[in-house]
């Protein structure tokens, strides 16, 4: 009995082998092009980012020097201390008003002197108007006397010149009134100058125009007398020679520090093309850089914190990507083996773009979500049908039970013989 079973198994094995050999060597047989695949994946949309890392330190983004103007007077009082936080409008220091008061006193004295001159002219005008009245009266009396003499004469005519005195007085009055008008204009000028000096008193207090904190105060009044640091944080550091070759202003940066898990973004504001020390063959050159940060508060990033800086040199967001191992290269051309909807292996010509850490951007040839062979070099063929392992998680009894007996045998033989 055992011998019969053994012969049956041998006969069945021979049939299976013969059947497979027949399918393999049969002309136009699909079995000859079937490929057993266990390693495949799908293309996906993602970001391809090229970058390098550097070290830096958090510093204020700007410094604002405050200068002392000696022409405005001496220093009377300082209102802030070093390290103190300030806002726009915070009083910093105040000039002494002595210089302004001295100038106001001088202008007031000159104005008073001018007003005294006007008073003298007013007195002179009063006297001149009195003289003018007397002269006019005398001239009227003389004219009346002359008229009486003319009527008693025997016909001889005598011409008498009158009005010379009053005319001279009138001219003097006109000159004095003109001089008075000039002096009155000078008084108005002094009033304007004094008002301007009074207005300067409002500017004796120097106020901050920026938010930040007081970095330094020079009590010896050497300019700048104060330095205000911005409260907006920035990062500075140095690049080595290779990093310098990759960097450029306005490149995006991502910054992290040990004191917070938050990541801060920004951009390179400057990259020096000259090393921080004089060039020498005995040491490597280091090139200073600075980066501005956006949306970072001084409470999160205070000066002195050590920072890890990631400089983005190139990036392609939301592009189709595939791993480097999925690319088949031949004759300086690139291909991907795609598992298409017809159940066939399809070799496609592709074009690639940016690639970082084994991930390639595909600019042409593969769409998002398409199935691709991970290691095309291990394929027996690059065209034809393929077979993949059964995903038991997706097997359901109901669809299988709905098949007819013939269909069940057909699909079982197809899977077994393939």
Question: Does residue 257 contact residue 305 with C-beta atoms inside 8 Å?
Answer: yes
Across the range 130-158, mean pLDDT stands at 64
How far, in whole angstroms, is CA 188 from its chain's centroid?
A: 51
The yes-or-no verdict on residue 128 having pLDDT over 50 is yes
Question: Which comes out higher in pLDDT, residue 10 or 305?
Answer: 305
d(CA 286, CA 273): 10
- What is 21-81 written as a DSSP string? HHHHHSTT-SGGG-EE---EEE-EEEEEEEEEEEEEEEEES-EEEE---GGG--EEEE---
Structure pTM? 0.59
8-state DSSP, 114: H
Across the range 276-299, mean pLDDT stands at 87
The yes-or-no verdict on residue 73 having pLDDT over 60 is yes
pLDDT at 188: 92
pLDDT at 393: 55
pLDDT digits 0-9 by tens, 265-278 = 999 999 999 999 99
Candidate from 124-138, 247-261, 347-361 with smallest mean pLDDT: 124-138
Helix (H) or strand (E) holding 116, with range, is: helix 98-152
Q: pLDDT > 70: what percent of the chain?
A: 78
Q: How confident is the model at residue 200 (pLDDT cuts 50, 70, 90)?
A: confident
| Maximum C-alpha span of the chain | 201
The yes-or-no verdict on residue 402 having pLDDT over 60 is yes
- Helices 98-152, 164-200: axis angle to 10 degrees equals 170
Q: How confident is the model at residue 327 (pLDDT cuts 50, 70, 90)?
A: very high
pLDDT at 245: 93
Task: Give the Å distances, CA to CA, from 7 to 2, 3, 17, 19.
Answer: 9, 6, 15, 18
d(CA 203, CA 184): 30
Candidate from 16-20, 194-198, 222-226, 345-349 with smallest mean pLDDT: 16-20
Residue 76's contacts (CB-CB under 8 Å, 6 or more residues apart) are 93, 94, 95, 96, 97, 204
Question: Does residue 379 contact residue 364 with C-beta atoms inside 8 Å?
Answer: no
pLDDT digits 0-9 by tens, 1-58 = 556 656 656 666 666 566 655 555 554 554 445 666 667 889 999 999 999 999 999 9
pLDDT at 361: 94
Q: Quote the mean pLDDT of the chain.
A: 82
pLDDT at 265: 92
The yes-or-no verdict on residue 115 having pLDDT over 70 is yes
Candidate from 106-115, 172-181, 250-259, 378-387 with smallest mean pLDDT: 378-387
Question: Which comes out higher in pLDDT, residue 73 or 226?
Answer: 226
């Amino acid at each position: 009995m055992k011998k019969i079973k053994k012969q049956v198994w041998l006969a069945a094995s021979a049939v299976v082998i013969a059947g497979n050999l027949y399918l393999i060597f049969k002309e136009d047989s699909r079995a000859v092009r079937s490929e057993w695949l266990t390693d495949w994946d799908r293309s996906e949309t993602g970001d391809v980012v090229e970058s390098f890392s550097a070290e830096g330190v958090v510093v204020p983004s700007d410094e604002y020097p405050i200068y002392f103007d000696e022409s405005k007077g001496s220093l009377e009082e300082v209102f802030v201390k070093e390290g103190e936080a300030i806002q726009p409008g915070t009083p910093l220091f105040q000039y002494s008003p002595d210089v302004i008061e001295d100038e106001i006193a001088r202008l007031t004295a000159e104005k008073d002197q001018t007003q005294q001159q006007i008073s003298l002219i007013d007195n002179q005008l009063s006297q001149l108007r009195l003289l003018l009245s007397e002269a006019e009266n005398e001239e009227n009396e003389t004219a009346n006397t002359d008229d009486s003499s003319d009527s008693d004469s025997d016909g001889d005519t005598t011409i008498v010149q009158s009005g010379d005195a009053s005319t001279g007085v009138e001219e003097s009055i006109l000159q004095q009134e003109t001089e008075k008008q000039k002096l009155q204009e000078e008084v108005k000028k002094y009033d304007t100058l004094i008002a301007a000096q009074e207005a300067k008193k409002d500017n004796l207090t120097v106020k901050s125009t920026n938010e930040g904190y007081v970095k330094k105060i020079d009590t010896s009044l050497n300019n700048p007398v104060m330095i205000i640091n911005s409260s907006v944080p920035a990062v500075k550091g140095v690049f080595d020679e290779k990093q310098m070759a990759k960097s450029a202003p306005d490149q995006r940066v991502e910054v992290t520090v040990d004191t917070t898990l938050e990541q801060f973004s920004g951009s390179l504001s400057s990259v020096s093309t000259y090393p921080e020390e004089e060039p020498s063959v005995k040491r490597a050159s280091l090139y200073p850089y600075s980066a501005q940060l956006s949306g970072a508060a001084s409470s999160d990033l205070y000066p002195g914190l050590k920072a890890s800086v990631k400089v983005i040199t190139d990036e392609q967001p939301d592009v189709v990507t595939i791993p480097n191992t999925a690319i088949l290269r031949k004759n300086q051309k690139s291909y991907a083996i795609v598992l298409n909807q017809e159940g066939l292996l399809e070799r496609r010509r592709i074009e690639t773009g940016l690639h970082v850490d084994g991930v390639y951007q595909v600019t042409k040839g593969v769409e998002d979500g398409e199935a691709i062979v991970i290691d095309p070099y291990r394929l027996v063929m690059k065209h034809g049908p393929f077979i993949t392992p059964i995903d038991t998680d997706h097997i359901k009894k109901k669809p299988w039970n709905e098949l007819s007996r013939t269909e069940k045998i057909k699909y079982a033989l197809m899977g077994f013989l393939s």
